[in-house]
Chains A and B, each alone.
Chain A
Amino acid sequence: MLNDSFRFTPHITLEFKIGEKDFFIAGESASRVKKTLQQLGMKQDIIKRTAIIIYEAAMNVAIHANHGTLKVYIDPEVISIITEDEGPGIPDIELAMKEGYSTASHEVREMGFGAGMGLPNIKQCSDELDIDTKVGVGTTLKAKICLNNKN
């Protein structure tokens, strides 16, 4: 349905490149997107959830992967947040979804990141979450927030 009407739906795409250990882009991109959503007149709850997903997803790429991209796609019905990275992949998604589980390096943890809250946080904030990962190749994360949810 969404794909059929794709051509006719006004939409915006925001793109960010994430380098290895680039800890600043997560915050920057979350702020940029937040401002955009405020200008679009989105509800506060939507803005907050989107900002958290972007921050956590971009941070995951910065912490674990070699490099990757973040794309945010916005139309009147849905916000999609997609990160694609080249990196180690996630060997056990179920385990990674558990709060407090982390494979972040000691160095990264010392910096205050990698507390193992990233994926559970993303899951909690999104209406749909799809993670496609291949060990040794990389991970694609797609999170969606629906804008016309009744609740």
Chain B
Amino acid sequence: MSEYFHSVTLDFEKCKGCTNCIKKCPMEAIRVHDGKATIMQERCIDCGECIRCCPNHAKTAVTDTLDILSEYKYRIALPAPSFFGQFKELENADCVLHGLLSIGFDDVFEVALAAEIVGFLVHQYIKDNKVKKPVFSSACPAVLRLMQIKFPDLLEQIAPILTPMEVAARLAKEEAVRKTGIDYEDIGAFFISPCPAKVTEMRNPMTTKHSAVNGVIGVQLIYKDIIKYIIKEKTQKDPSRLQKATKLGMAWGYVTGESKNVDASTTLAVSGIHNVISLLEEIERGELKNVDFIELQACIGGCVGGPLNIHNLFVGRVRLRELIKKCGSKPSYYTDEELLRFYTQGHYASTEPVQPKAIMHLDEDMSKAIQKMERLDQITNELPGLDCGACGSPSCRALAEDIIRGIAFETDCVIKLREKVKTLAEEILDLARIVPPVMADTSKKTGEK
């Protein structure tokens, strides 16, 4: 696998070369060159901001399709908590879970159920250890990738617990082995995802060596089939109960759900990648040391705001909330003893620390880097400062960086180009006015009269 796999990719045909995406990307990772956008692979964190803002739908998320199911003997669907917010007037989660069984899955395991375990593990981790505060949630892979690049100093404060998706895959497969006797390798676990970053996370996981998830399928690929099933199901009798998750886990579908579940004495929940960045900048300077836990979500509204979801995030959130209300308060599927056992066994603790990624360097040699920075400042000052994006870089400063890195030219700036053309035109005019000595200068004569 290449060093930089990304789910977020460009549909070359659809891209019209406009500059919407370059301005919205929080990592300044997109450039428009030769009429098409290109994503700088090493900078992309798969947050999906460009998917949301592209008017031509030229940014897409590559996910697995249902074809992948045929590679496994026993197939388990792992629906994200936010998935249930995509359907209107659900009486309970069961009809969606049965819907998944109807389209080719042999079993279902709610990620919401695994989320409850993760919530408990993080709670215990904060309670039992003298950890540096605030502790950050590890659930959003786009946020973790952001921190690798922009906030390497805060990486050690990420809760060392696997994501609900990962825990769900492991529990589901272990349970299936016990239930069916089929080999672990022949059992496939497939995350039903609102999120492109989860695809990338499965291929190149940050907190474990190998992901137990075998495929990530975008919500939009199965949405229609599930809707059809639900409509048909309405006329049928009560389906058997499949739902095991309680409201605690289901609420992970929107922002604040996770921090409520973690239940530390002081928590904070933040959503939206730009909000996350500005908060982390403050924390990096030593703010909020007394907050126990901070839930960080790249998408506004949390996972219901995921770019692969069908419905507007507010619609998704209110529907999920309604469903949670209908579920009432039932006891947790796992007993307190079982949860404590998960904690002491440490099965769902991260095995790999999240590593920093130094990709911003101008040069490996400090003196040369400083020289380049001097030149960068100089070029920035000479540019018009309009940040118009017409050069294909997100801002004048970014264009200056691109010039230093050798991937752009000063004349890429339309204002600079216009100035150059103007100077050139004036020079041509001046030259045109010069009369060779052997010729009579008619303009002078008329002037004398």
Contact = CB atoms under 8 A, between A and B. Distances in A.
Interface of A: 10-12, 27, 30-31, 34-36, 38-41, 44, 47-48, 51-52, 55, 74-76, 121, 147
B377 interface: yes
Given A39-B362, A41-B361, A41-B364, A31 B281 contact: yes
Given A27-B282, A40-B373, 19 more contacts: A10-B374, A12-B370, A27-B281, A27-B285, A30-B281, A34-B281, A38-B150, A39-B361, A39-B362, A40-B361, A40-B362, A40-B366, A40-B370, A41-B364, A44-B152, A51-B285, A75-B370, A76-B366, A76-B370
Nearest to A47: B153
Interface of B: 150, 152-153, 281-282, 284-286, 356, 358, 360-364, 366-367, 369-371, 373-374, 377, 401
Contacts of B285: 27, 30, 51-52, 55
Nearest to B359: A38
The residue among B152, B284, B364 with the most chain A CB atoms within 10 A of its own CB is B284
Contact of A10 (B152, B284, B286, B370): B370
A10 B362 contact: no
A142 B374 CA distance: 22
Q: Which 4 A-B pairs have the closest CB atoms?
A: A41-B361, A10-B370, A10-B371, A40-B369
Contacts of B281: 27, 30-31, 34
A51 B285 CA distance: 7
A44 B154 CA distance: 10
By secondary structure, the A interface counts as helix
B374 A12 contact: yes
The residue among A41, A76, A121 with the most chain B CB atoms within 10 A of its own CB is A41
Contacts of B370: 10-12, 40, 74-76
Given A12-B377, A40-B366, A41-B363, A48 B284 contact: yes
A121 B286 CA distance: 10
A12 B153 contact: no
A102 B360 CA distance: 38
Contacts of A121: 286
26 contacts: A12-B370, A12-B374, A12-B377, A27-B281, A27-B282, A30-B281, A31-B281, A34-B284, A35-B360, A36-B373, A38-B150, A39-B360, A39-B361, A39-B401, A40-B361, A40-B370, A41-B358, A41-B361, A41-B362, A41-B364, A44-B153, A51-B284, A51-B285, A52-B286, A121-B286, A147-B366
A41 B373 contact: no
Contacts of B152: 44
A147 B361 CA distance: 17
A48 B377 CA distance: 22
Contacts of B361: 38-41
B254 to A, nearest CB: 29
A30 to B, nearest CB: 6
B100 to A, nearest CB: 44
B373 A48 contact: no
Contacts of A39: 360-362, 369, 373, 401
A35 B149 CA distance: 11
Contacts of B401: 39
A41 B369 contact: yes
Contacts of B374: 10-12
A73 B150 CA distance: 22
B291 to A, nearest CB: 14
B318 to A, nearest CB: 34
A39 B371 CA distance: 12
Contacts of A38: 150, 358, 360-361
A39 B364 CA distance: 10
Nearest to A30: B285
A123 B371 CA distance: 30
Nearest to A36: B373
B367 A76 contact: yes
A10 B369 CA distance: 9
A44 B284 CA distance: 11
Nearest to B281: A31
Nearest to A32: B397
A8 B153 CA distance: 33
Contacts of B369: 39-41
Contacts of A11: 370, 374
